[in-house]
Amino acid sequence: MKNTILHKANTRGHADHGWLNAHHTFSFAGYYDPNRVQFGMLRVLNDDIVAAGMGFGTHPHDNMEIITIPLEGDLAHKDSMGNTEVIKFGDVQVMSAGTGIQHSEFNPNHDKRTNLLQIWVFPKHRNVEPRYQQITLDTTDRHNKLQQILSPNADDAGVWIHQDAWFHMGNLDQGTILEYARKKEGNGLYIFVIKGNLKVDGQALEQRDGLGITDFETLTFEATSDAEVLLMEVPMNQ
């Protein structure tokens, strides 16, 4: 029998630094809730709004798979591996921090904000060689269906990470019904509603709500309004 955990949008941690307006689904920085540290191997789900011309100065990471998905605006990235890139809506970026990297992230535009999701997943193996990957997806491929944006396999659709995880995004018209089949036994699924309203096996979700589900094989999604959704299937144990 499936088990669920619901995180309503208004229960997320919140930090407004002026230049950064951040909402944290899981404990992060100054926000700590012992009941909301992680969902399996999913450690961080941050919903960040970065003011025009502002950003995160150079800072280190290690032993984490870091996925960035811009929802609005652009993000300029520079790292210690020599990558200097700009990511924008439709792009997905992943860094395997491994043995250690340093990077900075800035909104390069001086007339508009940037909204991004940053997601951290614990890796399957520690101290891997750091790597960077960035791709541009055709967002029309997620209209009324689920587009795979991440997997464990370098030759599969989307980016790849050092973990048995699969991410999908969907842009659903009101009334659309889809089914999701779990990829790997023992994995759980964390659902994050970017926009609109959904029902997942009858559970109503609203914009920016999150729902974690374990012990399932298939799930049914119904868009009760036009909706955008991110699905993150991750191992529940290492």
Tens place of pLDDT per residue across the chain (238 aa): 799 999 999 999 999 999 999 999 999 999 999 999 999 999 999 999 999 999 999 999 999 999 999 999 999 999 999 999 999 999 999 999 999 999 999 999 999 999 999 999 999 999 999 999 999 999 999 999 999 999 999 999 999 999 999 999 999 999 999 999 999 999 999 999 999 999 999 999 999 999 999 999 999 999 999 999 999 999 999 8
Q: What's the alpha-carbon Rg for the chain, to the nearest Å?
A: 17
**DSSP annotation string for 29-82:** TTB--TT-S-BTTEEEEEEEEE-TT-EEEEEEE-S-EEEEEEEESEEEEEETTS
115: left (phi over 0), alpha (psi -120 to 50) or beta: beta
Residue 11 confidence (pLDDT): 98
Written as six digits, the tokens of 58 are 């150079």
Residue 34 confidence (pLDDT): 96
* Residue 142: strand, helix, or coil: helix
Q: Output phi, psi for 187, to 5 deg.
A: -75, 155
Residue 1 confidence (pLDDT): 79
Residue 105 confidence (pLDDT): 96
Give the rounded percent of residues in the chain with a pLDDT score beyond 90: 99
Domains of the chain: 12-136 (2.60.120.10), 139-235 (2.60.120.10)
Amino acid present at 160:
W
d(CA 226, CA 170): 11
CA proximity to 89, closest of 203, 171, 208? 171
d(CA 122, CA 189): 15
Question: Which residues lie across from 45 on neighbouring strands?
Answer: 119
Residue 238 confidence (pLDDT): 83
